[in-house]
Structure 1
Amino acid sequence: MQNRSAQFALLFPVAAVFIWSLNIAVTRYAADFISPVSISFYRWLVAFVLLTPFLVMPFWRHRALVLQCWKQLALLSAFGMVLYQGLAYSAAHYTTAIHMGLINALTPVFTIAVSVLLLKEWPNRYAAVGCFISLCGLLLVIAQGQQANLLDLGSHAGDLIMLAAVFLYAFYGILLKKWQLQLPLFVSLYVQIIFALLYHLPFVLWLGLDGINMQNASSVIYAGIFASIFAPLLWMMAVQHLGPSRTSIFMNLMPVFTALIAYFWLAETWGIYHTLGTGLTILGVLLAQRSNQLRKNIVNLAEK
């Protein structure tokens, strides 16, 4: 019975990654029908409206803790919900969903880099080799198998914007680990959504909002409900049942899911360089993560 429960728990991270992968395709699709500022603002507005009936009382009960760590929550919201999402929606205007999914898979690699900057945690040689292999895979895809293409930076604007988005998102995970806020996860999420809406207001006042219509309504609803509420919930359930290390490995499915969705839905082309680049990226990420897990196992054995 316990075995079956553990196997069922594997569906949680798979479902979460699939939802996020589909959201990348939705983001690329919606780029032609709604501005980055509009879909980003509407996304968090939808999540806020739906979560408020369930979280307003927990938020009030924990208001003292919220006041103690509001600066940290504001910074987390800036990195995870505004900068990352805003840049991702902007990148969708200039690159493909396949490229966005592949670059997203580099989150663990960028996390290692940010750990060096903020936590002074230097990677071991296996993690360093894994980062290098992943970077080679990414460059292969961006260059489309031709080294000369790397010199044409103008044609890679979307990939560079997405790289910046993922790099900034790595700060979100590291700061979350560093601060370890003593707030229920959903209350923390709720407060960050509130800050995200506040951050958007100057942009909304300056640039205005696109209206919701038949062409973009489904994208806004999907991003606001599934990608902002259901996926994080499934991911947290996965972490609870499987642990953070085992759960994080499932992020490597993102470029695969995104490529399949983009191929069948958006009719994006898939070349041999995509296959080789994705394989190298996933191999590098697995090597980096595996080395960290191996080190933890050795430490645990030594303590016993």
Structure 2
Amino acid sequence: MTRITPRTALLMTLPPLLWAGNAVVGRLAVGSVPPLTLNFLRWALATLLLLPLGWRALRQPRAIAERWRHLLFIGLLGVSTYNAMQYLALVTSTPINVTLIAASMPVWMLAVGALFHGVHPTRRQFAGAALSLAGVLLVIARGDFAALARVHFVAGDVYIVIAIIAWAFYSWQLAQPPASMRAPARPDWNWAEFLLIQTTFGLLGAGAAAAGEVALGAAPVQWNGWVLAALLYVAVGPSIIAYRCWGLGVTRGGPALAAFFGNLTPVFAALMSAAVLGEAPQWFHAVAFALIVAGIVVSSRRR
């Protein structure tokens, strides 16, 4: 795997930080915005914000049409499925369960790489996954591993499993795209243009899901200043900024390494939740952070 440079570390640390905030906001939005509607509004706003930066790509309809299957695939995975399932899970499952299942991301990332891309995990990656997972479990257990035995899984846990698998496929598609999306055949799209195309295709699925939610009788959005601020945050931070950094990080370090950085999300989420609830960070937050960083370092070292 590629050695970690300060730039790569920063690129892969920002998305977990922003996505932790997304999880906290998504949990706070329960009762104010239906989950699938929240996902659609988030990406509709993100698409509008991306238009001034990426509109030139829309002037190449032929290039888009020739690659529509791949673009639709990653749009549905990264915009529609992953985010919708996450917001849905935050409604029907507990935060501890969602975080516990999300901690399995490195396993799914390595599995997808081995089964569909011929990239087999190394012993160091297995060891790194174990260290990183131990850190996440320590946060979930709040320093008491016996608490894990009392976890009860509900229907919402299935949603986050679907979300994680979708994200693993999405990340590998970024790292190993089809020939039409590799140089020299790849269109000359910058990051904003490429992300705009993804969100445009992703809105097809997100919009259909939101429409179905409304048709089934979901409560209307409770519009207020807080909801508007929350939508602005999830459209800019976890969407535009995080996706830009994640795409660069995956390209530079690979999906497997990025998955270990992704396990920083529950640590950041725990700290943010503690801040919102007025609770001071505990000793196990620091230990968990050290374990996760150790997993990143071990998995990325060369022999």
TM range (shorter): 0.7 to 0.9
Give the aligned partner of residue 111 of structure 2. Answer: 113
Go from structure 1 to structure 2 and tell me whether the alpha carbon gap of 1:65 and 1:167 turns closer, same or farther (over 3 Å shift): same
Q: Is the 8 A contact 1:81 1:196 kept in 2?
A: yes
Query: 2:227 aligned to 202, 212, 216, which one?
Result: 216
Q: CA RMSD in A?
A: 3.6
Cα distance between partner residues in 1 of 2:73 and 2:98: 24
Return the offset for 1:171. 0.7
Mapped contact 2:78–2:170 kept (Cα < 8 A): yes
Mean alpha-carbon deviation: is it higher for 99-108 or for 166-175?
99-108
Among candidates 120, 123, 131, match of residue 121 of structure 2 = 123
Once structures 1 and 2 are overlaid, which stretch shifts more, 79-88 or 182-191? 182-191
Indicate how the Cα distance of structure 1 residues 161 and 133 shifts in structure 2: closer, same or farther if over 3 A, else same. Answer: farther
Superposed CA deviations along residues 225-254 of structure 1, whole A, max 9, x for unmatched, are 2221233335556779xx436994754543
Q: Is the 8 A contact 1:136 1:277 kept in 2?
A: yes
Match among 89, 92, 107 for residue 91 of structure 1: 89
The size of the alignment, in residue pairs, is 282
Go from structure 1 to structure 2 and tell me whether the alpha carbon gap of 1:212 and 1:160 turns closer, same or farther (over 3 Å shift). same
- The alpha carbon displacement at 1:137 in A equals 4.9
| Pair 239,174 (structure 1): closer, same or farther in 2 beyond 3 Å | closer
**Residues of 2 paired with 1:14 and 1:135: CA distance?**
17
**Matched residues in 2 for 1:235 and 1:205: separation?**
29
Q: How does 1:86-235 map to 2 (within 5 A)?
A: 86-93=84-91, 94-96=93-95, 100=98, 104=102, 106-138=104-136, 145=144, 149-150=148-149, 153-154=152-153, 158=156, 161-179=159-177, 181=181, 182-183=186-187, 184=189, 185-208=191-214, 210-211=220-221, 213-214=223-224, 215-235=226-246
SS in 2 for 1:179: coil
Conserved? CA contact 2:50–2:192, under 8 Å: no
Q: Which residue of 1 aligns with 2:24?
A: 25
The superposition leaves residues 111-144 of structure 1 with CA deviations (integer Å, 9 ceiling, x where unpaired) of 1111012112221222223334444555565566
Counterpart check, 1:260 vs 2:271: yes
Distance in 1 (CA, whole Å) between partners of 2:205 and 2:211 is 11
* More off after superposition, 143-152 vs 262-271: 143-152
The aligned residue for residue 43 of structure 1 is 42
SS in 2 for 1:111: helix
Report the counterpart of residue 65 of structure 1 in structure 2.
Answer: 63
More helix by share: 1
- 1:84 is displaced (CA, Å) by 0.8
Tell me by how many angstroms 1:202 deviates: 2.9
Contact 1:134 1:284 in 2 (8 A): yes
The residue identity in structure 1 corresponding to 2:17 is F
Counterpart-to-counterpart distance in 2, 1:133 and 1:8: 23
Which blocks of at least 5 consecutive residues in structure 2 are unaligned? Answer: none
Checking the alignment, whether the CA contact within 8 Å between 2:132 and 2:292 is kept in structure 1 is yes
Contiguous gaps of at least 5 residues in structure 1: 1-5, 296-304
- The equivalent of 2:79 in structure 1 is 81
Q: Alpha carbons of 1:268 and 1:25: their partners in 2 closer, same or farther (altered >3 Å)?
A: farther
Relative to structure 1, the CA distance from residue 162 to residue 76 in structure 2 (aligned partners, 3 Å threshold; closer, same or farther) is same
- Aligned residue for 1:92, secondary structure, equals helix
Mean CA deviation greater in 218-227 or 134-143: 134-143
Q: 1:237/1:153 Cα in 2 relative to 1: closer, same or farther (>3 Å)? A: closer
Q: What amino acid maps onto 2:120 in structure 1?
A: W
Larger mean CA deviation between 50-59 and 22-31 belongs to: 50-59
Aligned partner of 1:302 in structure 2 is none
What whole-Å deviation, never above 9, does each CA across 1:21-61 have from its counterpart, x for those lacking one? 22221112112321111100100110112222332223213
For 1:193, the aligned partner's letter is T
Alignment check: 8 A CA contact 2:132 2:263 kept = no
Paired position in structure 2 for 1:300: none
Structure 2 length-normalised TM: 0.75
Q: Does the Cα contact within 8 Å between 1:88 and 1:162 map onto a contact in 2?
A: yes
Amino acid at match of 1:207: E
Paired amino acid for 2:34:
S
